[in-house]
Amino acid sequence: MKYDKNNALISSAVPGLPEPLHGKVRDLYDLGDKLLLVATDRLSAFDVIMPNGIPDKGRILNSVSVFWFDLLADYKNHLITADVDQYPEELQCVKEDLRGRSMLVNKVKIVPFECIVRGYLTGSGWKEYQKNGTVNSQRLREGYQNGSKLDAVLFTPSTKAEQGEHDMPVSVEEMSAEVGLEKASKLADLSIDCYAKAADYAAGHGIIIADTKFEFGENSEGELILADEVLTPDSSRFWPQESYCVGSNPPSLDKQFVRDWLDSISFNHQPPAPELPDDIVAKTRAKYVEAYQKLTGKSFQ
């Protein structure tokens, strides 16, 4: 296991297993009929991986995903277990390193699109709306402001880019041409349903979920199921209700804080990224911890 100076896990390793496939945040180990997903403390912004990590970030992401998989149990997902004591024998030698930051999952055929759902107008959606009056080429009424709640939840898919490249928005029609109309419609319905249930729960715990992205895969029966992470501070915008104000970007409990800092130093959104200062690392960790505690009602240890 490789850690940085702040004890953030940058890269994982399991003795006896081949080198994992490294995603932006997760390391994926192929165990034959299943996968081991290890959530490192790496952080990416603008599709660029930062040189240093956020301590405990992986544990928070993993715990939040497991929490939501349980809450959204009406929708099938790929999780087998996150209990390291139930992992296969070949993983027991590193189970304490894996504890809290990993999950054993079923293999699925990943749908090659990010399923993005927007309940509020912000970020790239707000920029497009200002310019064209649309979001993902979907025409919206006049009069919205930055941070406005949308009259109806929008499904705005994007491509699933290779590491180092940028996801690009696509229309539902373009997505349908790739995966078929029936599957695209199911993905849209599932995404909006999961968002609506999660947003309703979060609202009762002081958090607005402005937007989020889901990933789906097809299991061996051809069913669409939730995969990867779900509704984490990496894949969602979490706004504390007490600081929400239409017309501005509310302080968020996610990595938007890092994006804002990078823009403040005129980072060009291209690698290599600058090292995050210790105070930015500490403040980002605090935001992830707060999101976890507000959502789950538990203290983060």
Q: Give residue 104's identity as a one-letter amino acid code.
A: L
- pLDDT score recorded for residue 248: 84
CA 167 to CA 97: how far, in whole Å?
32
- pLDDT score recorded for residue 301: 80
The pair phi, psi for residue 268, each rounded to 5°, is -85, 10
- Nearest residue to 52 via CA among 16, 20, 9, 15: 9
- pLDDT score recorded for residue 261: 96
- pLDDT score recorded for residue 163: 60
- pLDDT score recorded for residue 184: 97
CA 129 to CA 118: how far, in whole Å?
13
* CATH code given to domain 2-107: 3.30.200.20
Superfamily of domain 110-253: ATP-grasp fold, B domain (3.30.470.20)
pLDDT in tens, 116-147: 999 999 999 999 999 999 999 999 999 999 99
The verdict on whether omega for the bond into residue 88 sits within 30 degrees of 0, i.e. cis, is: no
Is 110-253 in the same CATH topology as 2-107? no
- pLDDT score recorded for residue 99: 96
CA 85 to CA 87: how far, in whole Å?
6
Where are the domains positioned within the chain? Answer: 2-107, 110-253
Give the helix/strand (H/E) hosting 110: strand 109-110
Under a CB-based contact definition with an 8 Å cutoff, are residues 52 and 9 in contact?
Answer: no
**Low pLDDT (below 50) residues in the chain:** none
